[in-house]
Structure 1
Amino acid sequence: MTAGKLIVIEAPDGSGKKTQSELLVERLKKAAHPVKKVEFPNYKSPASALVKMYLQGDFGENPEAVNPYAASAFYAVDRFASFLQEWQEFYLKGYLIVADRYTTSNLIHQGVKFSSSEAREAFFTWVWDFEFKYLALPKPDLVFFLDMPPQYSQQLIARRKNKFTGKTQKDIHEINEIHLRQAYENACWLAEKYNWHKIACVKEGVIKPVSTIHEQIYTLLKKELKKA
């Protein structure tokens, strides 16, 4: 039995990942592809408890209060539980798995906590080994990076509710403009390093329509699936 493919929609906060992943899943279903959507963190699971505590500021209101290795472990455990309980069976049956965030988010958000490139690179290596070697989680086959500069994504963040509380209060990443800017810059660098597919979400100072961004993603995905 051939394993499926893991397709990740990635970007810093407020870039439309949830919307685009949902649109992609619906489009793939209409095209008769076996597909399953997953979302990280999985706030419905008890495994996300430490992630929630971190994001709501229980360990400190500044993201820097929790070292990147510890924070990454919180998220990794959530992904591990999700894989075993929710999508391993589908992945092994050959389904396309569309993920709203994945391990790549740890690289984006936690990678900004290092002052030297050497320490950051060592962290990236550790994350890769921890999740894909020792936890044996699937590696992404394709990553689509939604390139939405923070001055635009902050507009979207301001209008939406907190994903796990349902309230207007934002988490410690979303309220920290310095963190959002650094995460965006790091994501752009990572996209080049790991050959992610960069999807430009802004044109001439205006956020592109949701449908236009979706078409960019789907067109690229069709090309990649034909190569397989």
Structure 2
Amino acid sequence: MLIVIEGLDGSGKSTQVAKVREYLTGRDGQAPEYLHFPRFDAPVVGDMIARFLRGEFGRMEDVHPMIVALLFAEDRRDASALIRRWLQEGRTVLLDRYVYSNIAFQCAKLSSPEESAALEEWILRTEYEVYGIPRPDLNIFLDVPLSFVSGRLAAQREGSDREYLHGGQDIHEADLDFQRRVREVYLRLCRKDPAFLRVDCCGTDGQMPSAEEVFERIRKVL
């Protein structure tokens, strides 16, 4: 089974991925195989993706999103043989971001609905049909309050998954309005794909619930 967790930058996704890994280990009696995309150690494109996100190729709007989408797609194509082998061995595979991240973050950069729809179709065709990467059995979108995302992105975030920034800021994380547009694309994708499940991560007070409460909502759809 191939499970994907999606979410905005600063959404607490890494915390929930860790909880899902622990839950699947207990449920299945063995740890799931796991990958986080993008892989900054991926051959050729890993370093290029890191450099783009650090802003070394210019501002976000200076690089056409189709070019950026191709870099992320190449990363998944390189990993696809490994993912396919795990699935053939009967393993559960958990992925932190996958194709829908590519669509959400790149299509959010386009103001024209027609151009956005065309890029979405191009990404889906390139990744699933041309590259033939495995299709997920379950996609989960963690829909968190933008106020929570704003607070997380404004704070200094640390961890091994931030090393690619070399102490700088990810250009995708510098603009809260961009994250709002990314969320809109994610929600549209959830409405189109019945296998893409939105998990509401908003409390009754409009704020972010505890990590444990969010995980309970995720567990119900696993």
Is the shorter-chain TM-score for this pair beyond 0.5, marking a shared fold?
A: yes
Count residues with an aligned counterpart.
Answer: 215
Residue 56 of structure 2 corresponds to residue 55 of structure 1: no
Distance 1:140 1:73 in 2: 19
Distance 1:149 1:67 in 2: 29
SS in 2 for 1:43: coil
Shift of 1:33: 5.1
Task: State the partner residue of 2:23.
Answer: 27
From 15, 18, 24, the counterpart of 2:11 = 15
Task: State the partner residue of 2:197.
Answer: 197
Residue 189 of structure 2 corresponds to residue 180 of structure 1: no
Question: Any gaps of 5 or more consecutive residues in structure 1?
Answer: 222-228
The one-letter amino acid paired with 1:115 is S
Question: Any gaps of 5 or more consecutive residues in structure 2?
Answer: none
CA RMSD of aligned residues (A): 1.8
Contact 1:9 1:99 in 2 (8 A): yes
Task: State the partner residue of 1:155.
Answer: 151
Task: State the partner residue of 2:139.
Answer: 143
Deviations 1:23-78 (A, max 9, x none): 111111111255211100112333411211110111112x2211111000110111
Contact 1:33 1:96 in 2 (8 A): no
- The TM-score with structure 2 as length reference comes to 0.89
Distance 1:39 1:93 in 2: 20
- The TM-score with structure 1 as length reference comes to 0.87
Deviations 1:76-131 (A, max 9, x none): 111122233x4332122121111110011011110112222222111111111100
Contact 1:147 1:200 in 2 (8 A): yes
Shift of 1:215: 1.3
Distance 2:151 2:167 in 1: 14
